[in-house]
Chains A and B, each alone.
Chain A
């Protein structure tokens, strides 16, 4: 029996699992964290608390990277209406939410013994908190919208808004000179600190890549499974 109803799209092709990326990421992350904690000397001003910066700063960079991915994929979706860009944007937004939340929490843990407070309404902290709220709004919007086309369009708009805010986060320490220090340059830092930071940033980039690719694959599988179920209800066949 063949149905005359329109066949549901089975969505983007399902990519293969990337187990090698999971293994590489885990080994690299453990290795770089041990390296940076063991080799770094206590800082003149903040002592051993600088070890927190090996995770706080890379998490902040990954939050920015995720925003960039969300921006590119969101514009890609609005331009092409290809569902795969919506999935990439949503995958990056989920990972971005995690890294932004980690940035805020780790910054707070570092600030308590160095600034003497868990939180202050500094421009960098406030704009990062706004970024986290935008990401949470993005995820809530996706969870609350059933129509895939409308969900993708609205998500893309919120994603672009989040990326604009990420630009404000980046420039906030230059535009508003408050308590958060401005970006450091390698020339102003010790060689071991610089390398510790770079290696941890690469490790976190691998984590981000793993999270985005894994979530994207899960979304493709969910979409294909939903299309097959929908097609079965119509009485036809979908070859996913």
Chain B
């Protein structure tokens, strides 16, 4: 089994790419949602001052 380590390395790389990739996707999604949320709050506060 001389090439068994290539399978092992491939398996761990796939795992880290999958988990890391999804974690980065979540981070980007959360940052965008936080920005939209803060923008909505700011706009609501401005409308509150105008009424």
CB < 8 Å: which of B3, B11, B22, B37 contacts A225?
Answer: B37
Q: Check A93 for interface membership: any CB of B closer than 8 A.
A: no
* CB within 8 Å for A214 and B44 given contacts A49-B7, A221-B36, A225-B37: no
Contact (A237, B34) CB under 8 Å given A47-B4, A48-B1: no
Select A237's contact among B11, B15, B26, B48, beta carbons within 8 Å. Answer: B48
Please indicate which of the listed interface residues B11, B23, B30, B37 has the most CB atoms of chain A within 10 Å of its own CB: B11
* Chain A: interface size category: 35 or more
Instruction: Please name all residues of chain B whose beta carbon is closer than 8 Å to the beta carbon of A237 when the two chains form the complex.
Output: 44, 47-48, 51
Number of interchain pairs (Cβ within 8 Å): 103
List residues of chain B with CB within 8 A of the CB of A222. Answer: 33, 36
Residues of B within 8 A of A (CB): 1, 3-5, 7-8, 10-12, 14-15, 18-19, 22-23, 26, 29-30, 33-34, 36-37, 39-41, 43-44, 47-48, 51
Having A52-B11, A211-B26, A218-B33, one finds 10 other A-B pairs with CB under 8 Å, namely A59-B15, A98-B19, A102-B19, A106-B11, A210-B23, A214-B26, A215-B29, A218-B30, A228-B44, A238-B40
Question: What residues make up the interface of A, taking CB atoms closer than 8 Å to B?
Answer: 1-2, 14, 17, 22, 29, 33, 47-49, 51-52, 55-56, 59, 95, 98, 101-102, 105-106, 109-110, 112-113, 207, 210-211, 214-215, 217-218, 221-222, 224-225, 228-229, 231-232, 237-240
